[in-house]
Structure 1
Amino acid sequence: MRSSKTAMDNLKSMLVVPLSVTAAVTDDVIELPKQSEDAVQIDENLAPQFILAFCLAHGRRKFFEIFKFFDKECDFVLDIIGQVYMHDAHCKSKKYTPDQRLFYHQTHSAPLMQTLFLWLNNQLVYDLTEENNGLGQSVKYMLRNWRMLTTFLRVAGAPLDNNWAERAIKIVIRHRRNSLFYRTSHGAQVGDCLMGIIYTCQQNNVNAFDYLNTIQRHAISVAANPDLWLPWNYKQNVAELPELAQAA
């Protein structure tokens, strides 16, 4: 039986840590990293280092939460943002490149967002809503962060929201809660590695139980060539080795 230290090394080699900053899509499109986040206060000294893309879903949520009080106004906003998301889904289904996606949004989503901007602006300019009520606060939020909320109309590859990052954070938070019951720090460390592996399997539509059993059966091969036994390519190696296929 292999030592726990070796097993830990095997697990560590396969741990995938999600990044909070998305790398440039291509060097000729974007030279700076993009950071998608909620509309929080940004240090002016740090801002030039990033292309800021605020979360459009958070802007939408502010109107969704007050829908029962301002149904007509919120329905207008939600409908426009919904169409923008439909356009983004179309780009994903067609597997557009970042440049193709940008052109599609500029053609189809930019007019919608311009209409929304004028509507939001008119709500305050012509006193169509009280600026301190729920609707007014939501309108001011959108206008205050408009440029960052519409980065996807100017930068190839910029996301509409950061929902993927929030989903990843929830996995970590859930694990932190469960970690209160680990008896030792070593046990918690093993749990951290397992969390990363299981989440990586989930993101690659791989059965985590099958994957973990397979790499334990063939720990020697995994230690020798860990890059060939990752969640997204381990089945190919199992199929190529008859003895492994029988064991699996």
Structure 2
Amino acid sequence: MEEMANLLAHIIVSKYQDHLPLYRQSQMWERFEVDLGRATMSRWILQIGDLLSPLKELLRSEILKETYVRADETRAQVLKECDRKAQTQSYMWVYMTGSSSHHAISYEYTPTRKGENAKEFLKGFKGYLHTDGYGGYKALAQSQDITAVGCWAHARRKFADIIKSTGNTTGKSAEALTIIRSLYKIEKDAKEAQYPPDKIQKLRQEKAKPILEKFKVLLKEHKKVIVPKSPLGQAVGYVLRQWGPLTEYLNDGRLDIDNNMAGRAIRPFAVGRKNWLFMGNVKGAHASAVIYSLIETCKANGVNAFDYFRYVLANINSTPENNYSHLLPWNLKYSLSNLHQ
């Protein structure tokens, strides 16, 4: 049993953390004269997805307990959808705790990008929701007891892209970037000083708020003289439309100035997608969501993913379901760290 758990953990981590497609893993096994085909490994992954899905549900429960949650989404390609006539592009979403002592991360596959998907996952959640400016999240915040928090990294990128494409380092976009950098400098100083949330909030009110008030006046003046559909017009329009969520971080020191943590959590899926291109079917997409959830939660909590999966796969069948919470990565961190001592 232990040997099989080690093999399965190796296959999982190779594909979902090291981004090695199963056909390449099969080719690598052939070098050792081991006949381990792609179809066999695919079947194992589907079975592992079913076996570990209760752990993903526990991660979702942990996320919904929080009052600060982050979310992001990226496109996903699934060959055999249930209904390809209705939708040509699927999505993988990521949700994660915002500021708890341990980090829970949950991937969620959906065949559409509709805001209803986020609404279903976050049913019962109350608190801050940190996202980009996608309208599906906005509708969610309006329908539930949720406060939207915007991402200054998205706003900054719009101005940075203009400078990159035009080479103009002295215009209105450069001016906006300088102002946004000053906001990030305040965050850097607070982090280096290791300020607690209450002191961070006070610092932001004293230093960041006046900068933002002047910035808003400046953007409104720019809006009067620029073409709305130009890149600069779209960048200015985005910031002004998102002004409420973008400035919400001033009101609570637990909130970050951007949603980069969620972006980093979903980036491994985007990187892996470049290698394996697509998921074969809906069941495979759900299995991938389960495995990515656990791998990214391991990484966020400083847990070795290979050690984690070989332990869980060897022990989950002998663990009562009401004790599955003991198998979450942060609860195994200490015991797994002793494996190599």
Q: 1:236 pairs with 322, 331, 334, which one?
A: 334
Using the size of structure 2 for normalisation, the TM-score is 0.54
Between structure 1 and structure 2, the one with the greater Rg is 1
Residue 52 of structure 2 aligns to which amino acid in structure 1? L
| 1:161 equivalent among 239, 252, 258 | 258
- For 1:131 and 1:227, locate their aligned partners in 2 and report how far apart those are by CA, in whole Å: 52
Residue 202 of structure 2 aligns with an amino acid whose one-letter code is F
Gaps of 5+ in 1: none
Pick from 201, 212, 215 the counterpart of residue 298 of structure 2.
201
Deviation at 1:217, TM superposition (A): 4.5
In the alignment, the residues of structure 1 paired with residue 318 and residue 335 of structure 2 have an alpha-carbon distance, to the nearest angstrom, of 10
Amino acid at match of 1:14: L
Any idea what the Cα deviations from partners look like across 1:56-82, whole Å, max 9, x if unmatched? Answer: 221111111111434212222112212
Distance 1:45 1:79 in 2: 31
SS at match of 1:157: coil
Aligned AA for 1:88? Answer: E
Q: 2:208 aligns with which of 103, 109, 115?
A: 109
- Post-superposition offset of 1:112: 2.0
Matched, 1:36 2:130: yes
Percent identical residues = 27
Equivalences for residues 97-246 of structure 1 within 5 A:
97-125=196-224, 127=225, 129-171=226-268, 180-181=279-280, 185=283, 190-219=287-316, 222-223=319-320, 225-237=323-335
Aligned to 1:23: 67
Structure 2 distance, partners of 1:218, 1:45, is 40
1:53 paired with 2:149, answer yes
Following superposition, the deviation at residue 108 of structure 1 comes to: 1.9
Tell me, in whole angstroms, the C-alpha distance in 1 between the residues paired with 2:315 and 2:227.
66
Unaligned runs of 5+ in 2: 3-43, 69-97, 100-124
Q: Which residue in 1 is equivalent to 2:35?
A: none
Q: Say how many residue pairs are matched.
A: 235
For normalisation by structure 1, the TM-score amounts to 0.71
Structure of higher RCO (CA pairs closer than 8 Å, 6+ residues apart) = 2
Give 3-state SS (helix, strand or coil) of 2:149's partner.
strand
**Structure 1 residues 103 and 215, CA, compared in 2 at 3 Å: closer, same or farther?**
same
Alpha carbon RMSD of aligned pairs, Å?
A: 4.2
